[in-house]
Structure 1
Amino acid sequence: MSDLGQPIGRITGVAKPDYFIFTFDPSRPVKLYDYVVVEMREEPPGSDEPVTVKVVAQVYSIERASLGLSPDHPWPVVREYTLPLDLDTPRAAAKILGYRWQGRILRPRSAPPVGSWVYRAPDKLLEEFYAVEEPRRLHIGYLISRPSVPAYLDIEGLKRHLAIIAATGAGKTWTSVVLIEELLRKNATLIVLDPHGEYVAMQRSACRKAREFCGRIRVVKGHKDQEGDTLYRVDVLDLDGSELANLAGVPSNASRIRNVIIQAKTLSEILAKHVDKRLGGLPWIKEVISLTLRALSDTKTRSGGTEYKYNLFATNFTNELLREIRDTMRLPREAVDRLRQELTRDSTFNQALQQLFSTLARSPEPALAALRYISMLEDIGIYSTSTVPLEELLMPGVVTVVNLAGLPLPVQDHIASSIMRRVFEARMRAVRGLPGEQYRYPVLIIVEEAHRFIPSQGNTRTLPVAVMIASEGRKFGAFMAVITQRPSRIDPDVLSQAQSQIILRIVNPRDQQAVRDASEQLSQELFENLPGLNPGEAIIVGPVAPISMMVRVRERVLDYAGTDISLVEAWGRSVSEASVIRRIEERLAEKLSDLMGYPVEPDRVLDALSGLLGVDIPRNVYMRGLKLVASSRVRVYRFDPRDVKVYGQAAGFDVEVGLGGGVRKCDCGADSTEREDAICPHMVAVVVQAIVDGMVVSVVPSAGDTSIIDEL
């Protein structure tokens, strides 16, 4: 008897090198996607004579054919049919996967003989068949039909790029989090471009759920009001005026507004070149526009021809500009006089100024609109006159999540392209030994919602960078994993370069076809199974897998924020949460009134709290802090009356807050010693909880310090 145990069936139909049909014992039924094995003679490479090998196959079709019943029989015959129900022929079709030989999976060159016995593949045989060497393996899950057999990815397969593809709700983000966990265990350098902020929750859960990941997840903020470790910064001087207008959201047909921004940007660049780089930032672009409006206002009251008015405008503008620069930069008179001469001789400066005058001669509205657009862009907080160092983005054994949530699409695209280009160029310099920004270790860039950034139709800043990484990145150790629910909307060249694919459930025919077109290893049998996969089940093909396999993705450890909500619970909770927050504000108003010595109404609590902390608290930060208090996720350790400081924890982050403008620090990254206006919901929550609990008994230091909070 074979060491494979009792046979479950026998090959009775067509047998080819890639599949066979077998009849199985009805008392030992076969399940769809299960694994079977047949023994046959093969002559593997390096062998001088045929040897017996165990060929593994996967069942992809099952049917039962009746001996006496047929769809062609009329109903009276069918109704009177009396033969036992088990007198039929159960048959199955199996796709041949191959056999193991000297550490490799080989496909047979001949067909298994008809009449060969078919066995259920033992778990141990499957473990050996799908094995990946320990240093290289990533535990992604288990075989769908054998939950006791682990499924591993080969980390080396990522060098050919990866795509994770699934319909909404099928488990693509879950799968990517599992992949991130496994890669962190291999000390990989990862960066995630996160347009919805779903991956930020990984950081909050790391220390609580898995100490091995604690401190190894960083969050880079795409907006100054987000939570995170550091704010991404882009040097405005690296942009031209047209790019700046696009990022600010100015419509392409708003030519006068765009021209104001373009010319003001040109003027600020000239100032940055002649005086100081800081004069090239958004505040000074706004200042140039404001000075233009003031100079125009004075010109409009004068009579005379266009040339006279322009000369008067140019003189007024230049005088006001030099006065502002002198006061801001504290320049000596000699430097101001020298700058005046340089600007007078600068033809580009004069041309830009003349363009501004011509654009605004009839109406100041384009300039006012330009100020609004630039102010909205400035409010994001990332556009400055410096760039965040690469060492704040890339660290060995760390995943950096770039939170792009809530940003306009052009800004998301700009940040994504900036980061991807910098990573690629840093790796290229490191490999080639070129001067400039370098990073010594391979990097995997995970692009969530990749169809936004790498579209099949339309142009984005990210698209050419992604194409470059897809075609050239493997040579320099810059790899990419694209994640999408709409593969038909991703650039086909990039998708086809992702030779490894983790494909979960897909139902859209166009998306199914896009996957089929991009994947050389997705067989017809696997392709037909895509719509029938359950959530969390995936087909994995390409170099990242030993051979094409169907798996159930394992349980994740880290949290993410992309799970479906319960409408019943959420709507029910919204009413109760709102009422709890109202009661907190009422109680807070009472306590603040006692502390401050004058009545504080509930609708003025935010203003009073801002005064107490010595910093303007944005309303969204304040409300998030109150929600933490309402959800009982806050602990106050103590209040120190000597330096009027509160210590506590909110949502797992340790906080210390000095009242009256004192030092404020939070483990989430907010720190007033690095940025004076730093404030976060965790700080607000701890202070509110301390006040409501009656722990803050005074806002004046008790150790002889006579300083008093100005706002009180």
Structure 2
Amino acid sequence: MPGDRVFLASSETLSRMLSAKRVSETGSAHIGSLLTREPGEVPVVLSVRDVVSTHLAILASTGSGKSYTAGVLIEELLNSYNRAAVLIVDPHGEYHTLASIQGDKTFSGEDGYLPEVKIYTPDRIRVRFSSLTDADVRYLLPEGTSDKMLHFLRQAYRSLRERLTAEGRREYLYSYQDLRDEVAKQQYGKDDRDAGDGGNVSSIQGLLWRLDSRFDRNDSIFHPHEHLELTELYRPGRVTILDLSDIEQQEQQVIVGTLLRRVNKARVLTTRGEAASGENFLDYPVFTLLEEAHRFAPAGASVVSTKVLRQILSEGRKFGVGIGLITQRPGKLDQDVLSQCMTQIIMRIVNPIDQQTIAQSVEGAGRSMLAELPALTKGQAIIAGVGTNTPVLCRIRPRITKHGGETFDAPAEWLKWHSEGESAKRSQNNAPYLKPTSEKKPEKIGNIRI
């Protein structure tokens, strides 16, 4: 009423109102503190159950702290009050610093629990060839593959699957060579009239050349029988980092597509009681964090990982398959994918297209919230969605582990290069860019001095 006294809400009142959980409570993720109060005064704590089951999006411009924030979240998920099964898809190799969590007593439990970290470097990553669909193989073929070649590829796939079914192979285990043989058989036709068709033969030979150039290589990640076991990638109390930094983008998309298909199938079959053992048995919920998510579900482009991401984001809640998306360009991310993320951590975003994308795809992103985005500084975020009781301006807490995505200080590095210590080190190592000691004049070939 007019004339009533108004009091500033206490920190305790704000904590109860803003956060669904208390710090260090089972299922909590202490992500930071309320920006409008002193650091640490009003903790902002997310509900891990809601974040994981209904999916997460971390959206920010370059250098705003999105990877740092993801690291804070991982620390909370691996703490003794959560012990989550987490996989990070890392296209740039910047999450290796999380290795310091391994055995860190800061995260320990009274029962002796200590978190684990497992890093798969590019040379250790394998995809079993039989886990690829014909769509995956078509996607990996170079540009210029004709419709006729793709027709023969589909025919070979169908014939191979029918033969394996007739032989009673339930898991359809086969190698690249098996598929190649089925393709090559088509050169001879089904009867004498088909044999010798020059057009067919040249198309099939062209298809075989394209297949060999992709799959018949010593450094190929596609293997006849080896692959990454789901129970090794996902285990409660472990964060697994899939370092894809030396793998080309098309192969990265196929790796993510096949992996997510496998884990979704395993969780569906296990939940329905149709798998009690084997590689399709996974009896606990899992969470996958995709860095540079716009690579795996780009807007306006058809890639093999987009379809399975859409399926998991719309249905994964029922089967315990959680997804976290991290991107610096929301406008380049498939809007159906982004709109399914029910918890959002939004940091500084200046690009008007990205702001408009957030407004259209993120529930609860009101006009007043969007007006704050350009003014946020590094480490500040707007958190909204089901993981918190109400949208809140948050100051992300300091990380316990070292951050692996720091921006280089270029002027400092240049000055360091000219320091006496670095000059002496280069001299000792006989660096090739040192000034020659001889006074020999440069040779001249034509008009070129060397």
TM-score (norm 1): 0.50
Give the number of equivalent residue pairs. Answer: 407
- Deviations along 1:49-100, one digit per CA (max 9) or x if unpaired, are xxxxxxxxxxxxxxxxxxxxxxxxxxxxxxxxxxxxxxxxxxxxxxxxxxxx
2:29 corresponds to: 138
Q: CA deviation at 1:566?
A: 1.8
1:242–1:189 Cα change, 3 Å: closer
2:442 corresponds to: none
Q: Partners in 2 of 1:514 and 1:139 — Cα distance?
A: 28
1:250 corresponds to: 142
Are the equivalent residues in 1 in contact too, given 2:103–2:116 (CA < 8 A)? no
Residues 676-695 of structure 1 mapped to structure 2, 5 A cutoff: none
Q: Partners in 1 of 2:338 and 2:136 — Cα distance?
A: 28
Q: Partners in 1 of 2:426 and 2:299 — Cα distance?
A: 46
Q: Match for 1:157: what amino acid?
A: D
Structure 1 residue 565 corresponds to structure 2 residue 405: no
Q: Match for 1:219: what amino acid?
A: I
Structure 1 residue 403 corresponds to structure 2 residue 403: no
Q: CA deviation at 1:382?
A: 3.7
1:370–1:397 Cα change, 3 Å: closer
Structure 1 residue 433 corresponds to structure 2 residue 273: yes
Q: Partners in 2 of 1:479 and 1:278 — Cα distance?
A: 28
Structure 2 gap ranges (5+): 432-450
1:151 corresponds to: 44
1:424 corresponds to: 264
* Secondary structure at 1:387 match in 2: coil
1:510–1:479 Cα change, 3 Å: same
1:236 corresponds to: 129
Residues 312-461 of structure 1 mapped to structure 2, 5 A cutoff: 347=190, 358-359=201-202, 371-375=212-216, 378-435=218-275, 437-461=280-304
Residues 275-294 of structure 1 mapped to structure 2, 5 A cutoff: 280-282=174-176
Decide which of 362, 368, 374 is 1:519's aligned counterpart. 362
Q: Partners in 1 of 2:414 and 2:69 — Cα distance?
A: 29
1:268–1:475 Cα change, 3 Å: closer
Q: CA deviation at 1:195?
A: 1.7
Q: CA deviation at 1:457?
A: 1.1
Q: Match for 2:4: what amino acid?
A: S
1:217 corresponds to: 117
1:264–1:584 Cα change, 3 Å: farther
Q: Partners in 1 of 2:417 and 2:151 — Cα distance?
A: 45
Q: Match for 2:118: what amino acid?
A: R
Decide which of 202, 214, 218 is 2:98's aligned counterpart. 202
Q: Partners in 2 of 1:556 and 1:464 — Cα distance?
A: 34
Are the equivalent residues in 1 in contact too, given 2:379–2:396 (CA < 8 A)? yes
Q: CA deviation at 1:493?
A: 2.3
Q: CA deviation at 1:356?
A: 9.7
1:544 corresponds to: 387
Are the equivalent residues in 2 in contact too, given 1:233–1:383 (CA < 8 A)? yes
- Deviations along 1:293-325, one digit per CA (max 9) or x if unpaired, are xxxxxxxxxxxxxxxxx9xx97xxxxxxxxxxx
1:127 corresponds to: 15
2:70 corresponds to: 176
1:582–1:353 Cα change, 3 Å: farther
Decide which of 287, 304, 319 is 1:476's aligned counterpart. 319
Are the equivalent residues in 2 in contact too, given 1:257–1:370 (CA < 8 A)? no
Q: Partners in 2 of 1:582 and 1:144 — Cα distance?
A: 51
1:458–1:432 Cα change, 3 Å: same
Q: Partners in 1 of 2:350 and 2:286 — Cα distance?
A: 32
Q: CA deviation at 1:238?
A: 4.0
> Superposition RMSD on alpha carbons, in Å?
4.1
Q: CA deviation at 1:175?
A: 0.5
* Secondary structure at 1:380 match in 2: coil
Structure 1 gap ranges (5+): 1-112, 225-230, 293-309, 315-345, 587-712
Residues 569-608 of structure 1 mapped to structure 2, 5 A cutoff: 569-571=412-414
Q: CA deviation at 1:239?
A: 3.6
Q: Partners in 2 of 1:566 and 1:191 — Cα distance?
A: 30
* Secondary structure at 2:284 match in 1: coil
TM-score (norm 2): 0.76
Q: CA deviation at 1:520?
A: 2.7
Q: CA deviation at 1:501?
A: 0.7
Q: CA deviation at 1:381?
A: 2.8
Are the equivalent residues in 1 in contact too, given 2:180–2:208 (CA < 8 A)? no
1:187 corresponds to: 83
* Secondary structure at 1:118 match in 2: coil
Q: Partners in 1 of 2:195 and 2:399 — Cα distance?
A: 57
Q: Partners in 1 of 2:315 and 2:130 — Cα distance?
A: 28
- Deviations along 1:465-503, one digit per CA (max 9) or x if unpaired, are 111111111111111111111112222222222111111
Q: Match for 2:97: what amino acid?
A: A
- Deviations along 1:163-220, one digit per CA (max 9) or x if unpaired, are 1111111111110110011011111111112222222332267458967597611123
Higher relative contact order (CA 8 A, sep 6+): 2
1:234–1:427 Cα change, 3 Å: same
Are the equivalent residues in 1 in contact too, given 2:135–2:304 (CA < 8 A)? no
Are the equivalent residues in 2 in contact too, given 1:267–1:288 (CA < 8 A)? no
Q: Match for 1:142: what amino acid?
A: S
1:574–1:356 Cα change, 3 Å: farther
Q: Partners in 1 of 2:414 and 2:384 — Cα distance?
A: 42
- Deviations along 1:646-701, one digit per CA (max 9) or x if unpaired, are xxxxxxxxxxxxxxxxxxxxxxxxxxxxxxxxxxxxxxxxxxxxxxxxxxxxxxxx
1:36 corresponds to: none
Q: Identity over the aligned pairs, expressed in percent? A: 30
Instruction: Look at both structures and tell me which one has the larger radius of gyration over its CA atoms.
Output: 1
Q: CA deviation at 1:431?
A: 1.6
Q: Partners in 2 of 1:570 and 1:205 — Cα distance?
A: 29
2:334 corresponds to: 491
Q: Partners in 2 of 1:260 and 1:475 — Cα distance?
A: 37
1:577–1:204 Cα change, 3 Å: farther
* Secondary structure at 2:247 match in 1: coil
- Between Structure 1 and Structure 2, the one with more strand by share is 1
1:505 corresponds to: 348
Are the equivalent residues in 2 in contact too, given 1:444–1:480 (CA < 8 A)? yes
1:705 corresponds to: none
1:161–1:215 Cα change, 3 Å: closer
